[in-house]
Structure formats: C-alpha cells, structure tokens
Chain A
Amino acid sequence: MNAHTRDWEAFVTQKEDGKAHMELAVDGITCAACIFEIERELLKEQGISHARVNMSSQRLSVDWDEAAYNPSRLVDLMEALGYKVYPFDPAQVKARGDRIGHELLRSLAISGFAAMNIMLLSISVWSGNSSDIDMETRAFFHWLSALIALPTVVYAGRPFYRSALKAIKTGRLNMDVPISIGVLLATGLSVVQTVQHARHAYFDSAVMLLFFLLAGRYLDHMMRRKTRSFAENIATLKAESAAKILPDGSTQEVPLSKLEAGDKVLVRAGERVSVDGVVLEGQSEIDQSLVTGETRLQPVSVGDNVFAGTLNGPGTLTLGVTASAKGTLLDEVNRLLETALEGRSSYVQIADRASQLYAPVVHLAALITFLGWVFLMGADWQYGLVIAISVLIITCPCALGLAIPVVQVVASGLFFRSRILLNAGDAVERLANVKTIVFDKTGTVTLPQATLGDAGGLSEADLALAGRLALSSRHPLSQALSKATAQTQPIGGASEVVGKGVQGQWDGEEIRLGSPSFCGIPQGAVEQRQKEQPGSSLLAFRRGADVWALLAIGQYLRQDAVETMAALRARGYNLELLSGDTAEAVGDVAAALGIERWQAAVKPQDKIAHIEHLKAQGHAVMMVGDGLNDAPALAAANVSMSPVSAVHVSQAAADAMFLGDELMPVVEALDIAGKAHRLMQENLGLSVIYNVIAVPIAVLGYVTPLVAALAMSGSSIIVVLNAVRLQFMVKQANKESV
C-alpha cells in the first residue's frame, strides 16, 4: 500500500456542505468494541468531522475537511488497528440511501395509523348497527373515516398503482392490477355510500388491505436489500482496482470504472489480474483456472491476451487495457451470454401466472353478478353495483398477493443463514424444479485456490521451514504453500532465483525450495511422484544434503464434495461434470466423486450446447460454475449457482451465490427451495379455497363490511402462518439429517 499512492479522488464524493465523503467496506468487524475503537480513533484525527460504523451493513462512512486531512492516512490507521478497509467505488454503489425502502416504510406507517383509527370507528358502527345507532352519528363516523382513508389510499397505495400502470402499459396483468382496482373501487363506493347515508362503508377494508400488502412488500424489500448490500461488500473486498501507470511512469491505484481502453496497467507478481488486456512488457506464467478451467500454468509474453480474473505468476507485467477485442475469449463469452440471457426472460413467475388467471376470472364474476342482479332479480342498478363491488372487495387479492412473497421472504432468510445469497427473487421456484445438475470442475467442485495436498513425508518442523522460505517467493505454488502452513515470518537473507526457486540459510545448512532440478532431486524420484499424484504440481524442498521432499500442490476437491454428490444422488438428481480442463484431470475428479457422465476440454459454446441439449430433452438443468467460461452456461441453464470466488461475469449471470469453502450449500439451497415451492403451492391452494367459499356469499349479497374485514384478515393470517412453517420444516429436516 505504500509503494504507490491510491487515487482517492475516484472514491471520494463531495457532500453539500463542502465536506469530502467516502464509504468503505470494513473487514473484521465482529463486536461492539470494534465500533467504538474505530470511531474514537478516527474522530481523534485532525480534520475528520464524522465517522460512523454501520454494523448491519459492515460499512464505515467518513466525512472530512479536504484541506485538513489526507485520506490515505485513514487506511493506514485502520490497518494499524487491525481492520482492512476498502473504499466503495461510487459508480458501483448506485444509491447510497434506500429510497424505495423508506417510501414503503412511510406508506406502511401511514396505512397502519389509518387502519387502526378507521377500525376504531368501524367497530362502533358495526355494533351500533345491530343496536340503536342513530343516522347522524353513523354518518359522522363515516365522514370521519373518509377523511382519514382518502389521503391514505392516495399516498400509501402509490407503490401498487405505479406497478399496475406499468404492467398495463406493457399489456400484461400482474397482481397489482386487481389490488389497485379493488382498493380504488372500495374507496369510491364507500364515498358514494357515505354521501347517501347508507348503512355500510368499506373504508376499513380498503385501508387494511393496503396495510397487509405493504407489510409483505416491505419485508420482501428489506430481505433483498440485505442480500444485495452483502454482495456489494464482497465485490469491494475483492479490491476491484488496478494499478494504472501514469504518463510520468508512477503508478496509482484506481477503481476499474476509471480505466479506459488504452490505459496501461501494472500487474505485479502474485497479483490477480483485474482487467482484460494485452501484454506490453514482461513475461510471466498465468494461472487461468478461473477463466478456462485449466489448472496448468500458461506462459505469457509480449502480445498475448490476458483476462480479468486470472492470477499472475512470478513475473511483473505491463498490460494495455483492451475494451473488447474481437475474437478473444471474452468477446465470445459476452456474445454467448447475451443470447443466453434473452432466452431466460421467457420464464413466468408463479405469482404472475396466478394473477393472469385470477384477474379476469374475478372481474368477470363481478360483472356477471351485476348483470344478474339487475336483469334477473330486477334490482336497481345501484344496488347491483354495490354487490358487484363487494365481490371485488371480498375476493380482493389479499391472501393471493401475500401467498408468494411471504414464502420468498422466509425462504431468503433461510438461504442467508445457509450462506447463500439470492440474485433473483424467482430463483426459489426454478430451483425447486431442477432435475439435472451440471457442475464445473475447477474452482467449483475443487477449491478455488491451490493448497498443499501431500507433504511427501516431510516432518512438521521441516514443512514449517519450507512454508517460511516460501514467503520470500511470489510464485503461486510458493504462495499456496505458505498459506497452507500458515507461516508469517520469512527467513532472513533468503533470495529468489527467478524461474527456479528460493534459497536461504538455516542453522548453518542451505535450504532450497523450487523446481526439482533446482533442489537437485533425482529425475527418477520426480517421475515416480508425478505418477502417484497425477493432478498436482510438484514443489521440491531440500535441507542440507539428506532431507528432501516433493510437495504435491494442486486444486483439490472441496472437503465435502464427495459427501455433497452422494447427498444429491440420494435425492434423485442426475449429476454431470463439464470442464475445460484436460481429460485426465477431469476423469480423476469424476471417478472420485462417482459421477458417470463427464466431458473434458469443453469450450464455452459447447457447454451451452450441452445444456440446451439437456433442456430439449425436458430436463430442468441447474449449472454450478465459477469461471468466465461457465458464464454463458450459467445464464443458459434454468437456474444457476456460483461460489463466491467466481469471476464477476459469472456471479452476475448466476441466480445465487454461495459463500465459504464448502459445497454443501448447493444441497441446502435445493432442499429449502423444494420446501418453499411446496408452501407456495399450498398458499395458492388456500387462497383458492378461500375464494371458493367467499365468492358465493358475496354474489348473494350477504357481505357486510364486518364479514369482509374478518374474511380478509383471516385469510391473510392463515397464509402468513403457513409460510412461517417453512422455518420449522427446514429445522426439522436438519435435525433428522444430523
């Protein structure tokens, strides 16, 4: 962080009062003391006027006087305190405040206030109607209710009217259309009845409907927001920035949004490449496993293409940033991705399917009721209209409007607890229908980073020594070793011989770490070892004359991969493995996992073709993958998941993301989704039963506001309680499986 300066300009926004403002993601906030410590230390600094940690979102917001403070001190200070901070790129965090959430909460508060007060008046009228209320008092109460209800319906109903208008304009029907019609008609009818001093008014029904539905909407919104801000933090913690080389030769750390095609970027040894570009200077070896799925290191030199997401090896590279070079892998992936995403939008959510069926039926029923009363029963048209509208109110989509969203809220809470983040709200329904699961190999069923597999008989002390020596090297294999042995103290005086390894002195003996020939290991032993460990790279270690070993390092299976596959098979899913890696490597992994159908050396377009082929056979396909080469397949599959280590493009294409080093979340996601889907169907069934009972009563003209209020809140509560059952179902299942 000290070798070059960060371009703070890009992360800082100006506030209205002239103060500079920055939002940072903070890694490592775990307890209350962290908040106080960070805030106290920052406020002690000259020039900082505001520092506040948000514990829920794990973010820090700081204001300072630009003349009096240099923000790079802030990062150093935080690092000294033991926290890693990463500034948010303002271009990527779209809106700082939560405007939609605030509007929903305000509407909810207002409709809640109105519902309670109108109910107070309504209950007096209902009890008065059955005893001795006089007409003046009733009219007075109705007028008061109207006074409260009218502004509420106008204000608190806006989210629904807006969405309904948008749907109608595009020629569709969604749940908000019948909701809006129901609320507006109920209010309109009640105003007319109030004017005419009628016995009944439906203000309470209209406002209560709004209150229930807004509560559902707000919970849904908050759950999504929590997931999204978490995902934004992860993106920022990955430090998506690049070291831009300025014309004067100095480097500056800038966010990716500030880079343009043609800029020069420096990538040091061992760093992750964050842009797509062409090598202008230097040579190195690149780990492309995130991009092509191949685990072998690829040598690159001047003129070669390098992709974002790959890991640079031992050399330093200068890259020229390319926008989207024709004919490169990235260009190909983007093109495939576009077509695949178009195909996906054809999925219609279960709630929309229900409302497309529901709205015409209900509106037709109301019309028939009106015509029936006027022409068959000979009632006057006004009386017929009142009954027809009461049909609309009682069938008002309260239960139906809540049936799906409440299940989604409960489900995404459970997903969150299982360390799964949902990108798409309707992913739950699509997950529930999956029959075939296609896995990528590298980084998905295997760990995303190389780890130490087998120490080759090296003693614990020597292994630790090798790990300490590895700290002096930038080579990916050495870095994997030092991480695996958890060493932090480098060995003094160790020097790196570029392209060969590191050497140093320990207790008067020479120690070496690097290629087998560098450490003087006989060729026969190397060949033997490579045969034993076919999927690994070998790193040699020698101490003095006698102690030596070949350490196997590679991207091994996630710890619970075998278990996960067994669990999936037990649940009856078809499993397949598709990888860009060599047939040998893929075959070994498939055998270890017990997957019979696998393909190796698959290109992105072949992955899509295979998935389309499976879909054409009538399978609902889930794709689990992380690489750039998986992105189109992720978008083409019916539903998809990515590990958190995946490249940006893949994460955006996937419906859900799972955190951590385990693969089990895939099973959990399918389990939760299956149960949630069943509850959604149950809830839809419950709302249908409710309507089957309620509609005839309304058609016959027996619906009073009291009946409407009881039926509506009763059905809503039943649907919500049924959704909450999901938590217990999942808990129960977890207990049984333990």
Chain B
Amino acid sequence: MEVLLYLIPAALILGGSGLIAFLWSMKNGQYDDLEGAKWRILDDGDLPDDHARTAGPDAK
C-alpha cells in the first residue's frame, strides 16, 4: 500500500499540470478565435521569402 504515497501525488501533479496548462493557454488568448486558428497554420508569412516560395506547392 505504500505505493499509494507515490501514485496519488503523481496523479494529482499530472492532472494539475494539465489544468495549469489549460488556464495558461486561456489567459494567453488561445481560445479567442477558434475559426481563424485553423487557417493560420497555412500562412507561410513567418518564413523567409525565398524559402516560402520554394516550399510552396506551386514552386517554380
């Protein structure tokens, strides 16, 4: 039964870190625009220009 002394804190810490991560992401505004997020992954604007061009599907 001593194993409980490790297992229960482990369970609580894992769950708690998930909770904290969620609260952080919420405070960070990640749930403000659920529609836009799925499109933003398609944006290559953060890459350097030439890289974006060669990496795109219509590369010449």
Contact = CB atoms under 8 A, between A and B. Distances in A.
A571 interface: no
A56 B33 contact: yes
B6 interface: no
B31 A105 contact: yes
A36 B40 CA distance: 8
Contacts of B1: 137
B33 A54 contact: yes
A109 interface: yes
Contacts of B32: 54, 56
Interface residues of A, number: 24
B19 A113 contact: yes
A106 B23 contact: yes
Contacts of B11: 117, 120
Contact of A110 (B19, B34, B45): B19
B33 A36 contact: no
B7 to A, nearest CB: 10
Nearest to B33: A54
Given A40-B45, A117-B15, A55 B35 contact: yes
Nearest to B14: A117
B26 A32 contact: no
Contacts of A117: 11-12, 15
B40 to A, nearest CB: 7
B36 A109 contact: no
A36 B43 contact: yes
Given A102-B26, A106-B26, A117-B11, A32 B35 contact: no
A109 B23 contact: yes
A473 B35 CA distance: 42
Given A109-B23, A116-B15, A117-B15, A32 B33 contact: no
A105 B32 CA distance: 12
A32 B35 CA distance: 10
A653 B4 CA distance: 61
Interface in B19-49: 19, 22-23, 26, 31-36, 39-40, 42-43, 45
Nearest to A137: B1
A32 B39 contact: yes
Contacts of B33: 54-57
Given A102-B26, A116-B15, A55 B36 contact: yes
Interface residues of B, number: 23
Interface in A105-129: 105-106, 109-110, 113, 116-117, 120-121
A144 B40 CA distance: 43
Interface string A39-51: 1100000000000
Interface string A10-51: 000000000000000000000110011001100000000000
A726 to B, nearest CB: 23
B51 to A, nearest CB: 16
B8 interface: yes
Contacts of A116: 15
Given A35-B36, A54-B32, A54-B36, A109 B45 contact: no
Contacts of A106: 23, 26
B43 A113 contact: no
A110 B18 CA distance: 10
Nearest to A120: B11
A113 B17 CA distance: 10
A56 B31 CA distance: 11
A53 B35 CA distance: 11
Nearest to B26: A105
Contacts of A113: 15-16, 18-19
Contacts of B8: 121, 144
Interface in A78-118: 102, 105-106, 109-110, 113, 116-117
Contacts of A137: 1, 4
A121 B7 CA distance: 12
Interface string A434-468: 00000000000000000000000000000000000
A109 B43 contact: no
B37 to A, nearest CB: 8
Contacts of B19: 109-110, 113
Nearest to A105: B26
Contacts of B35: 55-56
Contacts of A148: 12
A40 to B, nearest CB: 6
B24 to A, nearest CB: 11
| Most chain B beta-carbon neighbours within 10 Å: one of A110, A113, A116, A121 | A113
Contacts of A144: 8
7 contacts: A36-B43, A39-B45, A55-B33, A56-B33, A102-B26, A113-B18, A117-B15
Interface of A: 31-32, 35-36, 39-40, 53-57, 102, 105-106, 109-110, 113, 116-117, 120-121, 137, 144, 148
Given A32-B42, A35-B36, A110-B19, 10 more contacts: A32-B39, A32-B40, A36-B43, A54-B32, A54-B33, A105-B26, A106-B23, A116-B15, A117-B12, A144-B8
